[in-house]
Amino acid sequence: MDAAEHLGVKNPSVSRAVKVLVKQKYPLKAADGALSLTEQGLQTAAQVYEKHQCFTRQLIEAGLPCDIAAQDACRLEHVIGEASFAKLKEAAWQMARKAAPPDE
pLDDT score, position 91: 92
Contact between residue 27 and residue 38 where contact means Cβ atoms under 8 Å apart = yes
pLDDT score, position 1: 60
Q: Is 51 in the same domain as 14?
A: no
Contact between residue 57 and residue 82 where contact means Cβ atoms under 8 Å apart = no
Within a domain: 76: yes
Query: Which residue stretches of the chain have pLDDT < 50?
Result: none
Distance, CA of 11 to CA of 53 (rounded, Å): 27
- Tell me how many domains the chain contains: 2
Q: Are strands 35-37 and 27-29 parallel, antiparallel or unpaired?
A: antiparallel
pLDDT score, position 100: 78
Q: Domain range holding 95?
A: 42-99
Distance, CA of 4 to CA of 8 (rounded, Å): 6
Q: Is 49 in the same domain as 79?
A: yes
Q: Is 46 in the same domain as 94?
A: yes
